[in-house]
A and B are shown apart, each in its own frame.
Chain A
Amino acid sequence: MTETLLDISDLSVRFFTYQGIVRALEDVNLTVSKGEVLGLVGETGCGKSVLARSVLRLIADPPGKISAGKILFKGEDILGASRRRLRTIRGNEISMIFQEPMSSLNPVFRVGNQMMEVVMLHQRVGKAEARRICIDMLNQVKMPDPEAVLSKYPYELSGGMRQRAMIAMELSCRPELLIADEPTTALDVTVQAQVLTILEELTRRQGVSVLFISHDLGVIAQICERVAVMYAGRIVEIAPARKLFSNPGHPYTRGLLRAVPLVDEERETLNVVPGVVPGLIDPPRGCRFHPRCAEMLEACGRIVPGPVEVEPDHHVACHLWGSGR
């Protein structure tokens, strides 16, 4: 449990555009332990997907560039890995599931061809064996009639089925880390629940660690053990899920939690965090949240707050907890 699988330290990613340099990620520190499900929450555009893609070095370069930091996977430096090594890591050891199941499968090939291709290449098995593995995986994701699904084209499957097919495909190679980039965002709520249950069961059974990205706190609460909150390219709070939800430390986290609408609540308007996410070309100095923060201190506009351990395993990057208090 305590063995570290993925260790991201001081990671900074920039995009060089005509408008200027976008500081998409700034000094991100994050670890994922073996068998752990780590949630990553934040608003749209705060850098969640960039972080996910950086781990597999899928950032388009140019315009993107990982300008500083280290990503260690089982102690191996991913940023320094050769192209060849990187290709074996991708898919074999780290897999990724994307946001839109609608376009994650190639429309011109049958689902079976695509799945078997991956299995045959990564596990070096023959066609018949690959087929057996695929059917087995599809059964595990509770796909009805796997045999028939293999000979179908992606357009013949529903969104939930496609996403399950993707999960089956990515987990068929038994990776050690699965990066799920908002895998259920495009699905409706009931299908979302199904897919989440399947994902949770399978990863637990295979002992896969998961970096689960979402902007949906409900989803995060359901499956994650530890949660990291991102704001404007920085991680502002990391804590075990229970502690984060019962005792949020960062004003932004509190705002997010307050913004979740509850069904039995009698209220006309939604609670929102005032203001919008700042542009990352010229982000606010100091704490990037301070222009929207209700509890702003004098130091917030000048000094970037470092993470403070407010209780065991609960880190908050905010001056309210630090020396500024």
Chain B
Amino acid sequence: MASLTRKSSISLFENYRREHAWQIREFLFTLKLLSRNPSAVAGFVIIVSMVLIALTAPLIAPYNPIRISLSERLSPPSLVHLFGTDEMGRDILSRVMYGARISLRIGVLVIAIAGGLGALIGAVAGYLGRQTDNLIMRMMDVILSFPPLVLAMAMAAALGPNLNNAVIAVAFVMIPKFARMVRGEALAVKEKQFIAAARASGAGNVWIILHHILPNCFSSVIVLATLILGETILIAASLSFIGLGAQPPTPEWGAMISVGRKFLMDQWWYPTFPGLFILLTVIGFNILGDALRDILDPRIRR
């Protein structure tokens, strides 16, 4: 121990590099594969810019997103207002930037809730099997049998229109997607010898599910989450569009389009820019997710 404390931080770093040489190599290889795939790079760039915009919106947005300036209402894109203004004279560029915060936050929250619950439900169903599996998966099938948007609408309407309820509604709709996939993985993992070994060492079901089944399903949950994020953001924006999500004057993309659509004929910029951002974000997540799935799959990883 004494010799350990005497070591300089540089040699600790060296140690880390030596001990984890394999992982570091794999990670660099992943980055290399990613950089060789043009659509993946495009998706990656889009998502990273969206995240940066969302994080730094208060710093880089030229105006306060809810500041009303009636003298400038519905002015077209110009150097003063790059994306123009809306019917209250609010700067659309600033509103779209703040909108990125809301949409991404919804996306992440939904994925966290749906991914967490879905994975747990799937792992329990897959590991316990038999009647439990049947009961849980048939319940998931019921949820899956509705079109996601319709079910999310019904849920959000029943809970009351606000952003939190929209998150809950969308998460509810997404749970079965995770549950199904993790159940499949759990079915494969539970036959592995280390599960039997854990049981022989006195581990209970809860312990095995949390410590052995779930961690082994983690990588595919990540990929699925990236793939679903785009859809999530789209559904959340759709809920706001029909008035079941974010309420005005919140600068949410869907809500902005909803109000802006009656200005489409004369003031095209109002609904167009938030729409463009939704489009970009969803496409970005989808192509990044596709690329990740291909790259992380050991069978086609080259």
A241 within 8 A of B: no
* Further contacts, 4 of them, CB under 8 A, given A91-B202, A106-B198: A96-B200, A108-B216, A109-B215, A169-B201
Task: List 7 tightest A-B contacts by C-beta distance, closest first.
Answer: A91-B202, A90-B202, A91-B201, A96-B200, A103-B193, A87-B202, A108-B215
Determine whether the beta carbon of B201 is less than 8 Å from that of A103: no
B212 within 8 A of A: yes
- Annotate A40-61 by CB proximity to B: 1 below 8 A, 0 otherwise: 0000000000000000101000
A208 within 8 A of B: no
For residue B214, which residue of chain A has the nearest CB?
A108
- On chain B, the residues within 8 Å of A122 by CB distance are 201-202
B196 within 8 A of A: yes
Complex: A98 Cα to B196 Cα, angstroms? 9
B147 within 8 A of A: no
Contact pick for B197, options A88, A148, A166, A173, CB 8 Å: A166
Q: Which residues between 104 and 124 of chain A lie within 8 Å of chain B, taking CB atoms?
A: 104-109, 117-118, 121-122
Determine whether the beta carbon of A156 is less than 8 Å from that of B22: yes
B266 within 8 A of A: no
17 A–B contact pairs at CB < 8 A? Answer: A90-B201, A90-B202, A91-B200, A91-B203, A95-B201, A96-B197, A96-B201, A100-B193, A102-B193, A106-B215, A107-B216, A108-B218, A117-B211, A121-B202, A122-B201, A148-B19, A156-B22
Complex: A99 Cα to B196 Cα, angstroms? 11
- On chain A, the residues within 8 Å of B218 by CB distance are 108
Complex: A103 Cα to B197 Cα, angstroms? 9
Task: Say yes or no: A95-B200 contact (C-beta < 8 A), given A104-B194, A156-B22.
Answer: yes
Q: Which residues between 155 and 206 of chain B lie within 8 Å of chain A, taking CB atoms?
A: 192-194, 196-204
- Annotate A182-214 by CB proximity to B: 1 below 8 A, 0 otherwise: 000000000000000000000000000000000
Complex: A199 Cα to B235 Cα, angstroms? 60
- On chain A, the residues within 8 Å of B203 by CB distance are 87, 91
Contact pick for B200, options A88, A90, A156, CB 8 Å: A90
The residues of B with any CB-CB pair to A shorter than 8 Å are: 19, 22, 192-194, 196-204, 211-212, 215-216, 218
In angstroms, how far is the closest chain B Cβ from the Cβ of A303? 38
A36 within 8 A of B: no
Complex: A111 Cα to B34 Cα, angstroms? 31
For residue A84, which residue of chain B has the nearest CB?
B204
Task: Say yes or no: A151-B202 contact (C-beta < 8 A), given A103-B194, A107-B216.
Answer: no
**A interface: dominant SS:** helix
Which interface class (under 10, 10 to 19, 20 to 34, 35 or more) fits A? 35 or more
A170 within 8 A of B: yes
Determine whether the beta carbon of A103 is less than 8 Å from that of B216: no
Determine whether the beta carbon of B19 is less than 8 Å from that of A151: yes
In angstroms, how far is the closest chain A Cβ from the Cβ of B202? 4
Determine whether the beta carbon of B216 is less than 8 Å from that of A87: no
- On chain B, the residues within 8 Å of A96 by CB distance are 197, 200-201
A30 within 8 A of B: no
- On chain A, the residues within 8 Å of B199 by CB distance are 56, 58, 90
In angstroms, how far is the closest chain A Cβ from the Cβ of B105? 29
- On chain A, the residues within 8 Å of B215 by CB distance are 106, 108-109
A281 within 8 A of B: no
A89 within 8 A of B: yes
- On chain A, the residues within 8 Å of B198 by CB distance are 106
For residue B23, which residue of chain A has the nearest CB?
A153
For residue B200, which residue of chain A has the nearest CB?
A96
